[in-house]
Amino acid sequence: MIERVGTKIRILDAAEKLFGMNGFEGTSLRDITTAAEVNLAAINYHFQTKDSLIDAIVARRIEPVNKKRFELLEAAGPNPTVEEILTAFMAPVMRVKVDAAVPLIGRILSNPEMFVERVFPKHLAPVSQRFIDALSKALPELPPSELLWRLHFSVGVMTHTMLWGRIYPKITNGVCDISDREALVERTVQFAAAGFRAPASKGSD
């Protein structure tokens, strides 16, 4: 007898993959149940609504990432460098094992409405404050608003890379492949850290 993994997990796995590939609005519950080989009503039975399903999928991937972020920041000691802070912030995202989760995270982070209403308040507000504190300690001469801008820019670097990882090699003849995640972490951290160390722009307060 074939070991059949539970319906709930089958739905989560299929939905994660399809949401990542086609977006949240571009994926119907029927797409998901067909891929998961479960009945249509199973989604509403286990997750009530489509939005709740999305929340469950998001939580399943973001919570371990945030845990790892704190661990890495902790492990870097009391006075981490910019590179160490950025690595702690970015690496757990980029190292996500499940390939299907990579474009999904990109979708989440490039969906402002969903993010600001449902993801940020629940999952990211405490994380970001902690990292802002660490960065301002590592870069005491950088004005706070400029620091926020640059953290914002760094999130853009990370998000764009995850969202486009599946697509970008197609328009560059194979360059910019994201399969080597460790090289990716090094590249993004190096780029963002150099940006953080640039002289503050004149306009900042």
Partner DNA sequence: CTCTCGATCATACGTTCGTTTCAATCATAC
Partner DNA sequence: GTATGATTGAAACGAACGTATGATCGAGAG
Which of its own copies, DNA, none interacts with 158 (beta carbon under 5 to 8 A by kind)? its own copies
Contacts with DNA: how many residues (CB under 7 A)? 21
Q: Quick one: what does residue 98 bind among its own copies, DNA, none, with the CB cut-off 5 to 8 Å set by partner type?
A: none
Site membership for DNA, residue 59 (CB under 7 A): no
| For DNA, the closer CB: 20 or 80 | 20
* Smallest separation, CB 194 to its own copies (Å): 4
For 127-130, the CB contacts below 8 A with 24+ separation are 127/66, 127/69, 127/70, 130/70, 130/73
Which partner in its own copies, DNA, none is near 126 (CB below 5 to 8 A by kind)?
none
Residue 34 CB, nearest approach to DNA (Å): 9
Tell me which residue of 123, 114, 124, 144 sits closest to 132, measured CA to CA: 144
CA 51 to CA 53: how far, in whole Å? 5
CA dihedral 67, 68, 69, 75 (to 10 degrees): 110
Q: Provide Rg for the chain, Cα atoms.
A: 19
- Lookup: tokens for 134: 């660490």
Contacts of 164 (CB under 8 A, 6+ apart): 106
Q: Segment 23-52, which members bind DNA (CB under 7 A)?
A: 27-31, 38-46, 48-51
Task: Enter the DSSP assignment of 78.
Answer: S
28 binds, among DNA, its own copies, none (CB under 5 to 8 A by kind): DNA
Smallest separation (angstroms) from its own copies to the CB of 164: 6
Where do contacts with DNA occur on this chain (CB under 7 A)? 6-8, 27-31, 38-46, 48-51
